[in-house]
Copies of this chain bind each other. A is one copy, B any other.
Amino acid sequence: MDNGIKRMVDDRFDDFVRELVELVRRPSVSATGEGVEECADYLVAKMERWGIDAEIEQVPDGEPVIIGRVGPEGKCPTLLVYDHYDVQPPEPLDEWEYEPFSGEISGERMYGRGTTDSKGNLMAYLSAVRLLSETGKMPLSVKFLFEGEEEIGSPHLRSFVSSTDSLDADAVVCCDSELDPSGRPMISLGMKGLIYLELRSRAAKTDMHSSKAALVPSAAWNLVDALRSLRDSEGNIQIEGWTDGLVEPTEEEIELLRKIPFDEEEIRKETGARELLRGRHGLEALRGFLYEPTCNIAGLTSGYQGEGSKTVLPAEASAKLDMRLVYDQSAERCIQLLRDHLAVKGFGELEITVHGRLEPSHTPLSAPISRAAADAAREVYETDAVIYPKHHASGPDYIFTKDLGMHSIWTGCSPADGRAHAPNEFIGLEEYRKGILYACELISRFAGESSQ
């Protein structure tokens, strides 16, 4: 990589660390609202001072969104960088060894809420564009989209993005991400979708003496029968049309899977599971993990749940379902398929509440942003990135890939064990330094890929 940039990162690193400390010292707890607006104002003022054209966008009933822009105007590639400036609540406070909003440095780590999730990532990119701009090496236009509600589920992100045309770009880097547990950089090329539903069966006005189980229908059995109709005993989803259009991973994707460190013994140890799903091993298990739609029972409630016995026929029973979607499954269509299935199978009276929906997303390995990130990671970390053709979890990535039609990747510099959401959250200083280099290199490489 550019040795000039490398030297400058080293020369300026104390400043970059100090600036991250200052940001960490500004609480921005979206769950409670504590300090969120102040933090946004602070950050916009800083960005302006650092030569970034930045402004606050107010979101009705939401926390402010920060939009930034830097780099040459006119006909050049544009990269959108997404991250969030809000943080999780610091509780439980008595489990912190350091003040949660101190940014205290101890050993080679900076401690504090938000250091790893995700103010370190955010500042790595801001530091990178400053360096590139100041040295006249900024090869493209960078836009920033920093939201203040990620930790409460990004309730306004989609509507905000759809309401503005200021986010037009050629690709997105979502830097709210972390390194692989092996310490290697990690790049995710897509996420699963998700529908979260509640099914409620009502059979009577009130709970009854269970002798009535021989006389009137049971809400609990109705629910169990309905649930059971969704899956066969192997675990395959039995909803008509559900798996339409699901394809096999490509050879290229299988190749990526082979390179992902996957220690099934460790997973069994960590989870306590006696074996992996369907008795799978290795590549087969990993492929199921990342590529299969799921129908998970997240909760079950009915009747008497206390100690011992109570002979009751419950009036109601309910289940929370989270169903992960893959490839081109559409949340809306899947919800309709589920409704149709339940109606056809005789469970039409079940009440269905949709608590949330996220679409699946995908960006190919051949996309310029994917290649740029992989090359930049190899250059900076001196090792191949772990590339997930799909991430196992779900997120707002589809807003970029489906709504805006861009390529999008998730990659960041936070440590895998940085205690995000937990006490004593931290980022290693070396991880932060590498993150700045990685951001510089990724921007430069993306400019190169885009101009080819």
Cα distance A213–B325 in the bound complex, in angstroms: 12
With A296-B210, A320-B303 in contact, do A215 and B311 touch (Cβ < 8 Å)?
no
Cα distance A450–B311 in the bound complex, in angstroms: 38
Tell whether A302 is near chain B: CB-to-CB under 8 Å.
Answer: yes
Partner of A215, one of B231, B276, B298: B276
Cα distance A16–B296 in the bound complex, in angstroms: 64
Identify which of A54-62, A163-171, A199-207 touches chain B. A199-207
Tell whether A250 is near chain B: CB-to-CB under 8 Å.
Answer: no
Question: Interface on chain A toward B: helix, strand, loop, or mixed SS?
Answer: mixed
CB of A334 to closest CB in B, whole Å: 16
CB closest residue in chain B, given A217: B277
- Cβ–Cβ < 8 Å partners of A274 in chain B: 217
Identify which of A113-121, A221-229, A361-369, A438-446 touches chain B. A221-229
Partner of A312, one of B192, B273, B299, B314: B299
CB of A219 to closest CB in B, whole Å: 9
- Cβ–Cβ < 8 Å partners of A299 in chain B: 220, 302-305, 310, 312, 314
- Residues B204 and A273 in contact, CB atoms below 8 Å apart: yes
- Residues A298 and B312 in contact, CB atoms below 8 Å apart: yes
- Cβ–Cβ < 8 Å partners of A339 in chain B: none
Cα distance A225–B308 in the bound complex, in angstroms: 23
Identify which of A104-112, A252-260, A285-293 touches chain B. A285-293
Tell whether A433 is near chain B: CB-to-CB under 8 Å.
Answer: no
CB of A187 to closest CB in B, whole Å: 18
- Residues A355 and B314 in contact, CB atoms below 8 Å apart: no
- Residues B192 and A211 in contact, CB atoms below 8 Å apart: yes
Tell whether A393 is near chain B: CB-to-CB under 8 Å.
Answer: yes
- Cβ–Cβ < 8 Å partners of A205 in chain B: 271-272
Known A211-B394, A296-B311, A299-B314; 8 more pairs at CB < 8 Å:
A214-B288, A214-B294, A215-B277, A220-B296, A221-B297, A297-B302, A297-B303, A303-B320
**Which chain A residues have a beta carbon within 8 Å of chain B's beta carbons?**
192, 194, 196, 203-206, 208-218, 220-221, 223-225, 227-228, 231, 233, 235, 267, 271-277, 285, 288-290, 292, 294-305, 308-315, 317, 320, 322, 324, 355-356, 392-394
